[in-house]
């Protein structure tokens, strides 16, 4: 699958990569453009498959890892759904159906309260930089099928 993006989008993505210390290679730009246009977090296998014309497999996995470590992408562990990646627009969490894998974004999070609670209960940490949280359950469609 070829990935297309506008000239304005290209400039934004180039600046984003530069601001995080990355060269703006065509492969990285297309990877970010593809994830930015996605409606949900995508598995690394799906991303690599979609990027096969733009990045080889090894470079795609390396780019995902590096961009996630830099905070440009968010990495979420969806248990049986594996690790999924998404372009970071804002801080949020996910609710994941354990039956069908449907994933929904949750946009409310009391960061400060969670960080304070974590530090209060920790013996060896003095600072929280970030956090990740997913909720797992059964979606309404799967619950109806079980009745």
- Residues annotated within the binding site are 91, 97, 100, 131, 139, 142
- Using alpha carbons, select from 118, 46, 131 the residue that is nearest to residue 38: 46
- DSSP, collapsed to helix, strand or coil, labels residue 86 as strand
Using CA atoms of 109, 115, 120, 125 in order, give the dihedral in degrees to the nearest 10.
150
H/E stretch holding 17: helix 7-19
| Residue ranges of the binding site for Zn(2+) | 97, 100, 139, 142
φ/ψ region of 48 (left if φ > 0, alpha if ψ in -120 to 50, else beta) reads alpha
HSE-up (13 A, CA, CB side) for residue 74: 22
CB 146 within 8 A of CB 138: yes
Binding residues for Fe cation: 91, 131
């Amino acid at each position: 699958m070829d990935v297309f993006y506008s000239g304005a989008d290209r400039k934004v993505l180039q600046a984003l990569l530069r601001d995080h210390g990355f060269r703006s290679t065509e492969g990285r730009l297309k990877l970010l453009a593809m994830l930015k246009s996605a409606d949900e977090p995508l598995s690394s296998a799906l991303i690599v498959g979609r990027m096969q014309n733009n990045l080889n497999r090894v470079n795609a996995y390396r780019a995902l890892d590096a961009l996630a470590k830099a905070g440009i992408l968010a990495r979420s562990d969806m248990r049986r759904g594996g690790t999924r990646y998404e372009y970071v627009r804002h801080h949020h969490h996910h609710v994941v159906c354990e039956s069908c894998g449907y994933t929904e974004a949750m946009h409310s999070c009391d960061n400060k309260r969670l960080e304070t609670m974590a530090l209060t209960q920790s013996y060896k940490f003095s600072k929280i930089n970030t956090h990740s949280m997913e909720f797992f359950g059964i979606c309404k469609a799967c619950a109806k099928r079980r009745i």
